[in-house]
Chains A and B, each alone.
Chain A
Amino acid sequence: MITAEGITRTFPGRGSMLHREPVRALRGVDFTIPDRGAVSFIGESGCGKTTLGRILCGFEEFDGGDLIIGGQSMKALPSRNRAPYFRRIQMIHQDPYSALNPTRTIGQILADPLELRARQTGASSNWAAERRAELLGLVGLDPDYVVPRYPHMLSGGMRQRVVIARALTVDPEVLVADEAVSMIDVSLRLGILQLLQDLRAKVGVSVLFITHDVATARYLGPDTTLYVIYRGMVIEHGSTDTIIQHPAHPYTQCLLSAIPVLRGIEQPGPDRLIPLAPLDERSQPPGCLFQPRCPQAADDCRAAVPALTTGGDFVQEHACLHPRTRSVVATASSGAG
């Protein structure tokens, strides 16, 4: 189980030497990833969700707050001792091509971590070859076909499966899928999503799914939770189905409103919302961060940053002073196929 408490991260920011504004990528994020669970982070680009994923894998430092992996606080450990903990969390990158070394075959790519493992546990290298075949089968690939090939000879979906198999070589607890299906053909996406779902059941791994496409977050299996992130803050959090059907925060409602509606088989939600302005990463509004773009902002929204609470019509936590029920998601038209 992974718990994050109040994670903050500020980047020094670009600009000239005289005028460099720091960018607050994360402003105190709390989340929990239960064992065998599935958690999704959604938000537009630049909201900090990718940074959060990278912090979780140990590729980025966090400036404040704490990350507790398997009961051990990372803040309490010096950097060089953290590696074994972060090894339990493996990243599935967005680009399945650059995630695999183009000069090595799939067999070699998978053999590396497995042989390392074999040496550490004293197992034979035969074990490594067998385990490799086992993992490839687990992710739905034919070992005989895939092992002698180079990455550029496989489709995007197959490469992504290889990346997942490689992540599984160290028996991780969490797979962080950062836009893992965005660069794959639509017809192949469901396969990867269902694979992640299967792995939760078969191998006991949990999945952190980072995406801007909310629809994909529905296909990770039962009991999935969703965190909506805006400019480094969690502004809504709860069960995926609840949030999609009954979003509380206007930003979530904007995100869901933006989903294209299929003519002939879907009707648009009647209360769809559009943000008033594009995202300005440098603005520092008083009070609620979303207020300058919010179609329903009121005066007290400028007074203080709303805290995450439940209440009113909504069972999920949300950070809005005036949440209102809106029907924004498309519904199936009558007479549809």
Chain B
Amino acid sequence: MTAPAKETETSTVAVRVRDLTVCFRTQEGSLPAVSRVNLDLVRGQITGLVGESGSGKSTLALTLLNAVPAPGQVAGSVEIDEVGDVLELRKGALRKVRGASIGYVFQASQNSLNPLKRVGKQLLDLGRSHGERDSRALVGRARALLDDMGLDATRVLSSYQHELSGGMRQRVGIVFALLLNAHVLILDEPTTALDMLSQAQVMEIIRRVHESRHLTTLIISHDMSVIGDLADRMAVMYAGRVVEEGPTASVLATPRHPYTRALLTAMPRITGDIAGAKALPGRPPDLTSIPRKGCVFEPRCPLATPDCLSEEPPDTYAGDHRFACFVTAGEAQ
């Protein structure tokens, strides 16, 4: 894929991902989980990354922290405002950046909190490990954040992780990520495993916190409706590639890539004609079954032509909206 033809001005982009590739060694050679991805996170905006299992979205999120597990090999660059290329940093410098510049919120159901320590103690540990000596100030900030989240600060700080509900743990995770005043926030599946009401609550909190602290936020989810509601811009990933990206309203109203279109028709919706819904044939590919040549979506694509087998489609631009498809590139607006 070529670099975007339109370079957005430096001052408006907080995170610039260029030509990012993450490969894993398998018995069939070195296979890419993320392949030549270009992505800009615009400062002050919420960007959503939609993808299913095997799409590489979690791996991509981890590269922003330079935290891809060992056997993975990363190539390309991830430039973060005021930090530089995260992939060039090691050890001490990297540890400082994680938490202080970039906050990462894990999925609540992954139980990333230490089950043997109270929440308050873990927050203090986090602060101290970043050289923050003033415990009072830390606790004060934590309390303020917890209040913002609509939680009973005193109770939560003295609780163990298993004493909190899923929605509460998710919110505590956000507090951890923001405690050190990061300006980039990454949320990995923030609403998965939450019921509708808790999900709406967490989404509202994300929106509020994003606005009040002027963050640059990246939300990763397999649920397009969450992204479609929250995100200002969205990117759709399939088999390690970003197949479509642009302002959310534009991507949803006029989806250009056949996968995006197929996802929208295959998504159960509360309104609209149920007869129009069509299931996607096949299944999302895993690392070993991604086609090596040609468009990765070709095996499941209703619009596939023989040309789609020969090479990967380049990005086409329709204003601020880019997508990678030979066939739809030729369609009229």
Contacts and interface: CB of A to CB of B under 8 A. Distances in A.
Interface of A: 44-45, 155-158, 185-191, 193-194, 212-216, 218-219, 244, 254-266, 274-275, 278-279, 329-333, 335-337
B28 interface: no
A337 B254 contact: yes
10 contacts: A44-B197, A45-B195, A190-B267, A212-B196, A213-B268, A215-B268, A260-B228, A261-B229, A264-B252, A333-B253
A329 to B, nearest CB: 6
Nearest to A254: B197
Contact of A186 (B252, B267, B272): B267
B270 A186 contact: no
A263 B228 contact: yes
Contact of B284 (A187, A191, A266): A187
Contact of A214 (B196, B251, B254, B280): B196
Interface in B172-208: 195-201, 203
B68 interface: no
B198 A44 contact: yes
A262 B252 contact: yes
Nearest to B226: A260
Given A185-B52, A191-B279, A262-B229, A219 B274 contact: yes
Contact of A185 (B195, B222, B252, B271): B222
Interface of B: 52-53, 150, 166-167, 195-201, 203, 222-226, 228-230, 248-255, 262-263, 266-272, 274, 277-280, 283-284
Contact of A263 (B248, B279, B280): B248
Given A155-B283, A188-B280, A219-B274, A259 B225 contact: yes
B272 A212 contact: no
A112 to B, nearest CB: 26
Nearest to B151: A278
Contacts of B251: 264
Contact of B268 (A44, A218, A266, A274): A218
Given A185-B283, A257-B200, A260-B228, 11 more contacts: A44-B196, A44-B198, A186-B223, A187-B262, A187-B263, A190-B267, A212-B196, A215-B270, A244-B270, A263-B252, A332-B271
A275 B197 contact: yes
A277 to B, nearest CB: 10
Contacts of B266: 186-187, 189-190
Closest 10 CB pairs of A and B: A264-B249, A260-B229, A258-B200, A262-B228, A264-B253, A260-B225, A191-B279, A212-B195, A190-B279, A185-B52
A329 B270 contact: yes
Contacts of A330: 270-271
A273 B163 CA distance: 29
A186 to B, nearest CB: 6
Contacts of A214: 196, 270
Given A185-B222, A186-B263, A189-B268, A157 B283 contact: yes
A335 B251 CA distance: 14
B270 A155 contact: no
Contacts of B255: 337
A43 to B, nearest CB: 8
User: Most chain-B CB neighbours within 10 Å: which of A194, A254, A278, A332?
Assistant: A278
A335 B253 contact: yes
Contacts of B274: 218-219
B284 A185 contact: yes
Nearest to B224: A186
A252 B132 CA distance: 47
B235 to A, nearest CB: 15
Contacts of B197: 44, 254-255, 258, 275, 279
Contacts of A244: 270
A218 B270 contact: yes
Given A187-B52, A190-B279, A219-B277, A266 B249 contact: no
A259 B250 CA distance: 20
A212 B283 CA distance: 24
B263 A264 contact: no
Contacts of A254: 197
